[in-house]
Structures are given as C-alpha cells and as structure tokens.
Amino acid sequence: MTEKFFLTNQKDSREAFFHVIESVCKAAADTISDAAGENKTDSNVNSVSAYSGLPPLDLRRLLNSQTILPEEGKGFDVIISKMTTDILPNLVRTVSPGYMAHLHSPVLLESLAAELIISIFNQSMDSWDQSPAATEIEVLVIKELCRLFGYGEKSDGVFTSGGSQSNTTAILLARDYLCKTKLKHDVKKLGLPSEYRKFKMYASEVSHFSMEKSAHLLGLGYTAVEKVPVDKQRKMDAEKLEELIKKDISAGFIPFCTAVTIGTTDYGSIDPVKEAAALCKKYGMWLHADAAYGSGLIMSQNYKSRIDGINLCDSITVDFHKMFLQPISCGALLIKNAENFSPLELHADYLNREEDEEDGYINLVGKSLQTTRRFDALKIWTSFQVRGQKGWDNIINTCVENAAYVYEKLSCSTDFETISKPEISSVVFRILPSEKKSEAFTDGMNKSIRRTLLHKKGVVIGQTVDCGRVFLKFTLLNPSVTKEYLDQLLTLILSLRDEYQAQS
Ligand SMILES: *Cc1c(COP(=O)(O)O)cnc(C)c1O
C-alpha cells in the first residue's frame, strides 16, 4: 500500500480524504449538538451552551497525561476519537448565544467552505506563481473594500492576520512617511533618524494595546504614545488632542501620527474622526483609523453614518474575524495613497523579479509584513457574494439593535449601572447590590457572577475595569441572539445576585 499523504487523483487517496473530512465534520457537529443541553423543548432554538468543559486545573491534568509524539503512529481514527473526547468538549463554542465575552465571533457556514479551500490548496499570497487566481481575487476584494470605505482611485490595501498586524503596518508606514517628508530620511535604508526619541503618536486612553506594542516594535517605545483623555462616552477628546500636540511641539517633539479608534475594544465608542482629520492636516500628521471593531458598521445602511469621515484617514484597519463573522485569521489594511506602501517594497531574485511585474504578474509580497501569507481574501469574496448587501445589512443591524435593547433595559433599571450608550454592539455595565454595600463588595459580586456564569451556566460574558471598578460586558456579535434570550440572561444574572447576597 502506498502511504496516503495527500489528496491526489488516486482512488484510495480520495477515499482517505473524504473519510478525514467527513469524520471531522461529524465530530464537530456532534459536539455542538451535545452542547445543546437538556433544554431541547424547541429544537429550532439555538440553545448551545458557550462552555461546559472542565475548569483550568482539571483540564491541564487531562491533557498533560498524553504523549504527543509516540514511537509508532496511532492512525487517524484513534486520534480523531481522542480529539472528540478530550479536546472538543473543552473548547468554547463561539456559536452559542451565550458567548459574548470578547470580539470573538461565530463563523459563517460559507466561510468554513472557503477556509477548507484555503487549506486544501494552500496558496501563498507572496508571489503570483504561488497563488495565481488567489492574487487576482485579493486585488479585487481590496478594490471593493476601498470603494466601500469611500477611498479613491489611488488607494490600495492588503490582507493581514488581523487588527494588530494592520495597526503595526500602518504605524510603520506613518513613521517612514514622516521621516521621508519632514526629515528627508530613508528609514528603510538607514534605520531610525537621530531625532527618533522625539517622535510622538496619539491615541485615546482606551485605545487598543497594539498601539504601544507597535511603538515598541518600531523602535520608538511606549513613551512615544501619548494617551489622549476621553469624554464620558469614552471617545477621544479632540480639544485635548490639540492641546497635547501643541504642548509637544513647543517642547521640541515631532508628532507624526494620530490613531483614532473606530470602535474601542471595550465600549465600541467611536472617536471624532473629522476633528482628528482637521488636526492632522493642520500639523502635517498621518491619520490612522483603528476600525478593527467598527469597520463592520460599513455594511449597515442604517448605521454606517456613525463612521462617517473614515475615508479622511490615511489608513484603515479592518478586522474580519470580529463583526464580519469570519474564521481567524482575517484582516486588512487599507491605504488611501498606494505610494505609501513603498517602505515595504522589496525584490528577491527567487521570488518577485522586477521583470515579472513588467509582464503583468502581480506579487503581493511588497505590501505585507509577512512573506508566506494565507488566502484569507477568499472568505470575504465568498461571504460577500453569498449574503449580498441586504444579508449583511441585516446581520449588522441585528447586533447593533440588540446592544441598544440591552442598554435601554439596563439604564432604566436601578439594579444596574451602565457607562456609555453603545454605538456598535457592546454594552458595559455592572450589577448593583439591592441594598447599600461597599464598592469592594460590588466588585467581588460582579466577578463572582461572571465566574458562575462561565462554570455553571454555560454563559461566557466579558469583564473589564472602568475608573477602578469592575464592570461586565456583553459583546453582541452573533445575529442569531434574540431579545428574549437577552431578557432571560438578565433575569438569570439578577437571580445570581440574590444568591450571592444571601450567601455573604
Ligand atoms: C481586536 C482589536 C485589535 C486587535 O485585532 P487582532 O485581530 O486581535 O490582532 C486592535 N484594535 C482594536 C480596537 C480591537 O478591538
């Protein structure tokens, strides 16, 4: 018997392929069905719990007891069954309506199909001869995205592994652009200019940590990131931004970039883009939009005006494994002026010869921090066409409206405290004790309720800290979550509060 390594044209290889794929599909589907719990009164309702697996120490014990590299291979059937018993039940189920802790989404069916093609054919996006149609599709999808976000003819973009990589790439391009235009210095060739300790970038105090991480990676350090205060709605205060820029300039610093957050990770708050754009113009700075979360609003006819002005930014981070419901990884960086990709351009004799490009072979390696890169654009090509504008409009509207519904209920109840009115699909709140207690008691109670939901109720919600106090969070990315479900969850949370109070 020839060993079956790959899917080939041979009969036994095809059979092995179907066997592998069918077994894994069955194992996954059974795991999800098993997680529907005892509550099967209406089989049309998605009652899959978000987690019913082991707590951390038991899980570690179970998984540690296994040999990863045995002397003799055990074969696929043994391992898939071990995977089914030990691993699958201990994974969170992002399809559950009760899975709402993070910007971590369930995945659309058609994108699973695309994901399978991505892996089976394993194209690599760095050069045309590793990804002929895939290169053309990525270029087309990027064009469509630029159009959607209101960019003009000169724009371009690239798929990335997600929001963090998009942000790092954007800030690198911003830094090099500033060095080229203001200091006549080529960072690609010469490294950082001697003035580098004076570089400043600005992001709100609730921006994503990838801002600092990027500053570190780019040789500037955390102190290069000035944190701009936010207002009550957790949006960047544009007046404070200008004050900071002015103060820094008069102290001899060199402001090079402002990053507005279009949908902060916790609150979904949207920074004032137009004001920031005017300031960046005035002070000769790059404006980046970290729209990892809020980019999804572009698909909604009702709500896309909330991100008006995003096309004024020099670069936009889009993250498809959040509101766009795609399997990880899937992100993009869009650039208003394609010429600004030049710091990433390079030529290798073995990969992307200059004469190739003259003959029409597109090699995308010159726009990415990565070399070998996944064909993630296929997932967008697929699910945009499968659902169309109307289907997408519906998905995003449902999530936004669910958040508005929860906020309405919480903000007019004396049992809860909220912070900001949701602009996207997250609601941050805390549960208040039914009679006056210390802040420490309230913090402890909120933490405990989250843990109980996770380990006893199959519901995974978020927890964060706002102004020193513990808050909880619903991140509503799943369009199949209903208002009835949200009502039930709030009732459950209140009953957990009463239990907690009775015990303490
Ligand atoms: C999620 C998020 C990121 C990081 O994106 P990854 O895909 O996790 O790398 C960056 N910025 C914001 C505002 C985010 O919410």
Nearest to 418 by CA among 362, 365, 471: 471
H-only helix segments in 44-162: 56-64, 76-82, 109-121, 132-148
Ligand 1 atom at minimal distance to the Cα of residue 291: 13
The label of the residue with tokens 């698909």 reads: 299
User: Taking 90 as the threshold, does the pLDDT of residue 445 lie above it?
Assistant: yes
Q: What is the pLDDT of residue 359?
A: 87
Q: How confident is the model at residue 82 (pLDDT cuts 50, 70, 90)?
A: very high
Is residue 376 within 6 Å of ligand 1 at its C-beta? no
Q: What is the pLDDT of residue 357?
A: 80
User: Taking 70 as the threshold, does the pLDDT of residue 90 lie above it?
Assistant: yes
User: Taking 70 as the threshold, does the pLDDT of residue 41 lie above it?
Assistant: no
> Across residues 405-409, what is the average pLDDT?
98
Q: What is the pLDDT of residue 37?
A: 66
Ligand 1 atom at minimal distance to the Cα of residue 264: 13
Coil, helix or strand at residue 333: strand
Q: What is the pLDDT of residue 1?
A: 43
> Across residues 295-302, what is the average pLDDT?
98
- Residues across the chain: 504
Nearest to 323 by CA among 349, 290, 299: 299
The label of the residue with tokens 């652009």 reads: 177
Ligand 1 test: best mutation among 234, 270, 319, 376, most atoms within 8 Å of CB?
A: 319
Is residue 293 within 6 Å of ligand 1 at its C-beta? yes
> Across residues 271-298, what is the average pLDDT?
98
For residue 34, what are the contacts with CB-CB under 8 A and spacing of at least 6?
89
* Distance between start and end Cα atoms, the chain: 68
Nearest to 12 by CA among 27, 23, 22, 2: 2
The span from the CA of 32 to the CA of 458, in Å, is 13
> Across residues 80-108, what is the average pLDDT?
97
**87 φ, ψ to 5°?**
-95, -55
CA trace torsion 127, 128, 133, 139 (10° rounding): 70
The span from the CA of 277 to the CA of 260, in Å, is 9
> Across residues 244-269, what is the average pLDDT?
98
Q: What is the pLDDT of residue 43?
A: 57
CA trace torsion 187, 190, 196, 201 (10° rounding): 10
CA trace torsion 333, 338, 344, 347 (10° rounding): 130
For residue 318, what are the contacts with CB-CB under 8 A and spacing of at least 6?
145, 149, 166, 291, 292, 295, 331, 332, 333, 334
Ligand 1 atom at minimal distance to the Cα of residue 293: 15
pLDDT in tens, 384-403: 999 999 999 999 999 999 99
Secondary structure letter of residue 270 according to DSSP: B
The span from the CA of 276 to the CA of 265, in Å, is 19
User: Taking 70 as the threshold, does the pLDDT of residue 142 lie above it?
Assistant: yes
The span from the CA of 318 to the CA of 291, in Å, is 6
- From ligand 1's centre to the CA of 184, what distance in Å? 32
User: Taking 80 as the threshold, does the pLDDT of residue 118 lie above it?
Assistant: yes
Pairing relation of β-strands 315-319 and 286-291? parallel
Is residue 319 within 6 Å of ligand 1 at its C-beta? yes
The span from the CA of 325 to the CA of 345, in Å, is 31
For residue 109, what are the contacts with CB-CB under 8 A and spacing of at least 6?
none
- From ligand 1's centre to the CA of 292, what distance in Å? 5
What is the overall mean pLDDT for the chain?
96
User: Taking 60 as the threshold, does the pLDDT of residue 286 lie above it?
Assistant: yes
Task: Pull the structure tokens for residue 482.
Answer: 């209903």
The span from the CA of 71 to the CA of 41, in Å, is 48
Is residue 163 within 6 Å of ligand 1 at its C-beta? yes
Task: Pull the structure tokens for residue 459.
Answer: 């519901």
pLDDT in tens, 334-366: 999 999 999 999 888 888 888 888 888 999 999
C-beta neighbour count of 461 within 10 angstroms? 20
Helix (H) or strand (E) holding 499: helix 483-503
